[in-house]
Structure 1
Amino acid sequence: MSKIPVIVAPMFLVSTPEMVIEAGKGGAIGSFPLLNARPVSKCAEWMEEVKSKLDDEPWAVNFICHKKSNKRYDDDLQLIEQYEPPIVITSLGHPGDVIEVVHRYGGLVYSDVANVKHAKKAAQTGVDGLILVSAGAGGHGGTLNPFSFIHAVKQFYDGTIILSGGITTGADVAAAKLMGADYAYMGTRFLTAEESSAQEEYKQMVIESTIEDILYTDSFSGVHANVLIPSLIKEGINPKTLKPRKDVDLSHLTDVKAWRDIWSAGQSVTAVDRKQSMREILDQLAREYEGGVSSLLSSQTVRD
């Protein structure tokens, strides 16, 4: 089994325990949003299943730190304390409570950030890693160039760096490592996985879409996100007449109904052209990654 520096991003309504388990067995790190499993008892079953099948392999869960948005805040925090996932990925809000719990049992906390201001705030809380959500990422993508983002963050942070945004191939992962990232964070590449719980129509739309089918808009939540234009058209929404939303509504991060029919994908969607199993995707990424590293080493040897 080849180890590849990839974290399979937690995708709302898409990530499953099977994806996490197969990622771990395939040499990557899988993750799922705790809120994908409802009710709390089902989430406990998911965590028990993953923990029992991944002995020493790392895995992760995604925790929403914003108490007003996450009505399961206390329950999910208790699940983290009980099942001790090796990595907890935090989104929104201050991760202080999570850090205290996770560090107590020796786990790691990674926070996703979309700009330098938020990166500095997260770094000050004592998180173990920062997920830099750059331009082109699925869901709430940022606008910063990944080269510039990494360089800016490394000026004040020496923890683990995970790069997100437009990463699709193993060669991309090698490039991310060369840029200074410790891991690549990939979601769109796994949307069409056999183990994914994305609707079949959603998977087919991803396969058929290109970068030109991605729209960066704040019309739905007040926060910019990358969505699939065909999914808007499917719902009778004209993408040309969308208007910015004045208030910020993050219910789609916790409410199934709010984001069930508007589907997201990143700019890397062009490279996803078929359905594959998690193992097939990971094996392909491993081959591409090794090829990318070899190519870089060969280039260095020629220059020397």
Structure 2
Amino acid sequence: MMSVQLTDILHIKYPIIQAPMFLVSNVAMVKEAMNSGIAGCIPALNYRTLDELQNAIRALHEAKVEGGAFGFNLIVNKSNVKYKAQLEVLCHEGCDFIITSLGSPEETINQAHKVGIKVFCDVVDLNYAQKVERLGADAIIAVNNKAGGHRGGMSPESLIKMLVAHCNIPIISAGGVGCKADLDKMLNYGAAGVSVGSPFIASEEANVTEAYKKACVDYGANDIVMTERISGTPCTVINTPYVQKIGTKATWIENLLNKNKSLKKWVKLIRFAIGMNATKNAATKATYKTVWVAGPSIEHTHAILPVKEIVKKLIS
């Protein structure tokens, strides 16, 4: 199985998935990804209603071309109250693949396989990788310490080589790819393909503010910091003056409340709601509260370009 490449799994021209990005990914971006010979993926949570999700799937089916593929990302833990209904819509309407995050993918794998949908699972370590392999995952998304948003703790080289050595399904590397040389590195480490997110934020098709896109052009790898102030879990963001002002560590009262077992869950839910609202506002409208999620691969982003031009930079 390890000789199977992402191009073979998804019948795409190049071994790249345009990664699912909360608030950023959309139908227009994925259409252009498919037209460029790669796969595109959208978080199901980017759609407020099931009807909107259904319409997006149908639009992508109509736009699908040979050499391209599309999928959706599902948050599969209890925090996503829409999960089961979203899974039902995806299985009914159909797509090429589902990427699962933050929970057990067992139900998703079982339901998706019944209708011929492949399932790739986000992992950050060997233990979870072997668990999802036993559950029947079709491939592993290896989230390394160069990923944007909620990242892993291991370097791309260490994580890929470890998973390749101990797993029997393809490894797709997520994080640290901003140019062709980065792509080649991941493939040489043994990855079957890569998942690329941050370079596509500064695309013409992305429905985020010009300020967010321009930040991905103006800032670089050294401007990416980890913050606990969004979801309660460390997350990478651009180190804007506002991020510097509010700090990147949880407050003393949050730390105190997190030690209380009965309150910990509610503290995290409140912090998540506040953080996600701040992130949404920064991505979609003018505000001085600039909390822009991105990874260090924006180092190679030098202009706001069409998706097709970003793909060209990655493959040539």
Greater CA deviation, 278-287 or 92-101?
Answer: 278-287
Matched residues in 1 for 2:26 and 2:276: separation?
A: 15
Matched residues in 2 for 1:181 and 1:240: separation?
A: 32
1:92 aligns with 2:92: no
Distance 1:121 1:217, change over 3 A: farther
After TM superposition, list the pairs within 5 Å mapping 1:16-95 onto structure 2. 16-56=26-66, 57-66=68-77, 68-95=78-105
Kept in 2: contact 1:110–1:127 (CA 8 A): yes
Distance 1:241 1:277, change over 3 A: same
1:105 aligns with 2:125: no
Kept in 2: contact 1:207–1:272 (CA 8 A): yes
Kept in 1: contact 2:228–2:250 (CA 8 A): no
Tell me which residue corresponds to 1:280.
309
Moved over 6 A (4+): none
Kept in 2: contact 1:216–1:226 (CA 8 A): yes
Kept in 2: contact 1:70–1:254 (CA 8 A): no
Tell me which residue corresponds to 1:259.
279
- AA aligned to 1:265 is A
Tell me which residue corresponds to 2:136.
126
SS of the aligned residue for 1:275 comes to: coil
Matched residues in 1 for 2:151 and 2:250: separation?
A: 18
Tell me which residue corresponds to 1:169.
179
Aligned pairs, number: 283
SS of the aligned residue for 2:146 comes to: coil
Tell me which residue corresponds to 1:301.
none
TM-score, normalised with respect to structure 2:
0.83
Matched residues in 2 for 1:225 and 1:234: separation?
A: 16
After TM superposition, list the pairs within 5 Å mapping 1:243-258 onto structure 2. 243=251, 246=258, 247=264, 249=268, 252=272, 257=277
How big is the shift at 1:236? 7.5
Matched residues in 1 for 2:182 and 2:139: separation?
A: 20
Name stretches of at least 5 consecutive residues in structure 2 with no aligned partner: 1-11, 259-263, 283-290
TM-score, normalised with respect to structure 1:
0.86
Tell me which residue corresponds to 1:292.
none
Map Cα deviations across residues 225-270 of structure 1 (whole Å, 9 max, x no partner): 111111xx33683336655854573685999525323221101122
- AA aligned to 2:145 is A
SS of the aligned residue for 1:237 comes to: helix
